[in-house]
Amino acid sequence: MLVNNQSLERAPAYQGLLMWLALCFVVAWFGSRFEPGPWYAGLTKPWWTPPDWLFGPVWTVLYTLMAIAAWLVWRKAGFRGAPLALGLFLGQLALNGAWSWLFFGLQQPGWALVDLALLAGVLGAAILAFGAHHPLAARLLVPYLIWVIFAGMLNYALWRLNP
């Protein structure tokens, strides 16, 4: 069902939270379509690469925190009151989804690294913009930024180790 901006902003709190959770987990689902597979298994990896089983739980927590953060800003200011903050959030979400496609789908670690650099920048800007509306929402995105920076370091190492 399509709804307009006004009805979204007047929706009960739980509906808004469900909307943001659904959006974040649709991006997670999209990324999961591009599985590591034999190509990734065959790459030379740095010693500090996390075990494969860790990625699922970490991303589940991060996507949940992202959704809650966006929901807090949306509940306080709405799309009209926080167009920059929520626009940056949606932009970083698109970059997030693009990474799996670039890295695993196209097997292009160099382009995936460019994506992560852009993601870190847009996410940093989103955190600052969220802070102007809801400081807790900004803080909820910090673990995600730390993970993105770590992912960038890992992506860089994989790119360098596997020319």
CATH architecture entry for 58-163:
Up-down Bundle (1.20)
CB 81 within 8 A of CB 127: no
Least confident among 14-18, 26-30, 85-89: 14-18
List, for residues 126-144, the tens digit of each pLDDT value: 999 999 999 999 999 999 9
List, for residues 28-75, the tens digit of each pLDDT value: 999 999 989 999 999 999 999 999 999 999 999 999 999 999 999 999
Q: From CA 76, how far away is CA 80, in angstroms rounded?
A: 11
Q: How does DSSP classify residue 102?
A: I
State pTM to two decimals. 0.89
Burial class (CB in 10 A: 0-12, 13-18, 19+), 127: buried
Q: From CA 19, how far away is CA 81, in angstroms rounded?
A: 18
